[in-house]
Structure 1
Amino acid sequence: MELTLLESCLLGSLIFCFLIQLYFSLFVHLKLAFFPVEPISETAAKPLSVVICARNEVDNLRNYLPSVLEQNHPDFEVIVVNDRSWDGTRQLLEEFAKQYKRLKIVTISEGEKFIAGKKFAVTMGIKAASNDWLVFTDADCVPASANWLLGMQQSEDPKVEIVLGYSPYLKRRGILNALIRFETFFTAVNYLSYAVKGMPYMGVGRNMAYKKTLFFKNKGFAAHMHIPSGDDDLFVNANAHSRNTEIRINKESQVWSEPNTSFGTYLRQKKRHFGAGKLYKGKHKFILSCQIIFQFLFYAFFTALLFFKATLYPALGILFVSIAIRCFIYPRILKRLNYSDLRWCFPILDILLFIFLVFNGILSIFVKKVKWK
């Protein structure tokens, strides 16, 4: 059956979008599926400092801080920055300090003259650190094993200044939890895959590490102190490159985190991340924009082709091939990144995530004000 000019253009556009998607899947993300996972070293090379910022986190600190303080590493300290808390965080930390000699408390009081926000708290924690190698996590995070710090310790390669770890969310009931974990998965697939490819562009503060000397050499967060978020991804975006960055995805070196339990708080979190993304380097913004734009166009052209009898089956065939390829690649990575249970509903979550990202992008245009707790 001969196609009209409109049908040919729509079908050609669908094929082009499919090929763009194929590039990201086969030549970027597939690298992570076969990335060699090194075993955790049983010995520590150098001392390190863990930095945790806490604002009204008394319950999370009570539940999770001991697992950080009791890590299987011979020479480390844990710095907790109490950022203007009023919920009993100070009293809890003082009790922990009597039991754990590795704990160092930094207190930021309400009313002090400073730029409020997490970046200031992180900076205070870094200044208090006794060691050059800094490992970062959050108060609502729990290490996957007692060997977490051994897995995130400084590389033997002196050129490595940044280590990007991985932090999955804990499984809870409900579709929101599945969506949050799936979105976190794809974010991790992206930044870890591009780091393997030699173009690191972000990391997550729940599990990453870098040198204190690197922080001060590049003036810390000075370039983006006015942005509420970005203490993790913007710092990596500005300072990471192919020669100074490694990834660590061994299951023992991962850190589990408590997910949001309401759609509103999740949207606010993603809004903060979206705001930071606007300050990424141009090449990174271009690549990330291409991924979402061409995925949107793929579905848009596919929907349009359904209204033409001549292109119905070709369009369905391309969609089937696209889903088949994605179902071959991403469930493998889901298993590697501790989200095996999501493999069975991958196609549905894939579509739901796309809808959410489009919705969040539109919402971010109109909602401007964000803050850290």
Structure 2
Amino acid sequence: MFSTLLIAFIIVIALNCLIYIFFAAYAFSKPQLSEEKSTFPVSVIVCSKNESENLKKNIPIWLEQTYPNFELILINDASIDETLDVIEEFAAKDERIKIVDVKNNEAFWANKKYALTLGIKKAKNNYLLFTDADCQPASNFWIQEMANHFSTTKQLVLGYGAYAKRKGLLNKLIRFETMVTALQYFSFAKAGMAYMGVGRNLAYTAKLFYDNNGFMSHMYIRSGDDDLFVNEAASQTKVALCDTAESFTISEPKKTWKNYINQKKRHITTASNYKTSHKLFLSFIYIINCLFWIGTALTFTFFEWEWVFGVVFFRLLFQFIVFGKAFKKFRENGLILLLPFLEIALICFQITIFISNIFSKPKHWK
């Protein structure tokens, strides 16, 4: 029995390392740089619901982008604060700002996808770049970097949306989860299996949106305007990856565990609507990680530690090498020494969220 346990544990580690080899293909790749700078017109689209304070801070930053030709579509999604007043005040000073004022209706009550659809219809340009009201570009070249990756064959560009560095365990866990998620979706996209993107930093053409019938196939799902659209539309075009530091956006992370839990509950619910193949691959990765840590505890309990230490150390070293490159790529070097602890914490947290979703449904996006 014990020998079977050890063999099974070694198989789990081997599978774990195969997963890291898959991630390494992206982690060790160089950023895709364009030789020529794009100059075609771009529509930057921001959907805002009760975001007056963030808009006051971020609208000037978006307008400072060095890109030569862009408009800023600001959507007020039935806000009850001063969001519309703030947008109108800035629009009176800059003709690049276009306003979409969304009123709730019975059919699409509190549905972000409905608001975004109206914003996309308002846009006069074919190339669309999306971010959130609480997101700041990491540089004045954000639009330029994302736009450079469009081509005649690539109508969808995946970007990286980072979170600001703050003190505390929650902040470290949020940044770690964000980095791991990005490593996964960039790796899958590089392998020709794009399954998600993040609305904090995502670009696609209006043509792709309309050819895909917009969000119609999942309009009834409250979230997923970013990942479910990518999951469906990626099969219609080649996907470009934009991961230069100048192309990042930076958001303010959740400050309380309650808010973070509510956010993750929505995300996990959305993931259940991915294509079956994507769900199987992602579940396999998660299960293998869980089995590794369970197996580590069991084998150290039933075997002499010297026998177990070697294979566990090999797996951890393999992970440190691959994740170390990814941490560096996403500018999260400070988390590398906490890797094993953050991975265990994230696994436990995700199990908790999954169980919680069984008993209570997640709320709307705002």
TM-score grouping bracket, smaller chain normalisation: over 0.9
Which residue of structure 2 lines up, in the alignment, with residue 3 of structure 1?
none
- 1:157 partner letter: S
User: What secondary structure is seen at the aligned counterpart in 1 of 2:16?
Assistant: helix
Q: Trace 1:218-237 onto structure 2 (pairs within 5 A).
A: 218-237=212-231
Distance (whole Å) between structure 1 residues aligned to residue 35 and residue 67 of structure 2: 11
% identical aligned pairs = 40
More displaced, 345-354 or 194-203? 345-354
Which residue of structure 2 lines up, in the alignment, with residue 327 of structure 1?
320
Aligned mate of 2:130, from 126, 130, 136: 136
Q: Trace 1:188-227 onto structure 2 (pairs within 5 A).
A: 188-227=182-221
TM norm structure 1: 0.94
- 2:255 partner letter: T
- 2:214 partner letter: G
- 2:181 partner letter: T
Paired residues of 2:36 and 2:148 also in contact (CA < 8 A): no
**Is 2:63 aligned against 1:69?**
yes
**Is 2:176 aligned against 1:182?**
yes
Distance (whole Å) between structure 2 residues aligned to residue 343 and residue 245 of structure 1: 29
Distance (whole Å) between structure 1 residues aligned to residue 150 and residue 266 of structure 2: 35
Which residue of structure 2 lines up, in the alignment, with residue 356 of structure 1?
349
Distance (whole Å) between structure 2 residues aligned to residue 121 and residue 243 of structure 1: 25
**Is 2:84 aligned against 1:99?**
no
Which residue of structure 1 lines up, in the alignment, with residue 5 of structure 2?
10
Distance (whole Å) between structure 1 residues aligned to residue 23 and residue 222 of structure 2: 30
Superposed CA RMSD: 1.7
Which residue of structure 1 lines up, in the alignment, with residue 272 of structure 2?
278
Distance (whole Å) between structure 2 residues aligned to residue 46 and residue 269 of structure 1: 35
Indicate how the Cα distance of structure 1 residues 242 and 127 shifts in structure 2: closer, same or farther if over 3 A, else same.
closer
| Per-residue CA distance 1:249-273 (angstroms, 9 max, x = gap) | 0111111111000111101111111
More displaced, 37-46 or 196-205? 37-46
Deviation, 1:217, is: 1.3
Equivalent pairs, count: 366
**Is 2:327 aligned against 1:342?**
no
Deviation, 1:197, is: 1.4
Which residue of structure 2 lines up, in the alignment, with residue 261 of structure 1?
255
| Per-residue CA distance 1:39-60 (angstroms, 9 max, x = gap) | 4667433111011000000111
Aligned mate of 1:150, from 144, 147, 150: 144
Aligned mate of 2:159, from 165, 171, 185: 165
Distance (whole Å) between structure 2 residues aligned to residue 114 and residue 352 of structure 1: 37
| Per-residue CA distance 1:211-234 (angstroms, 9 max, x = gap) | 111111111111111111100000
User: What secondary structure is seen at the aligned counterpart in 2 of 1:152?
Assistant: helix
Deviation, 1:164, is: 0.2
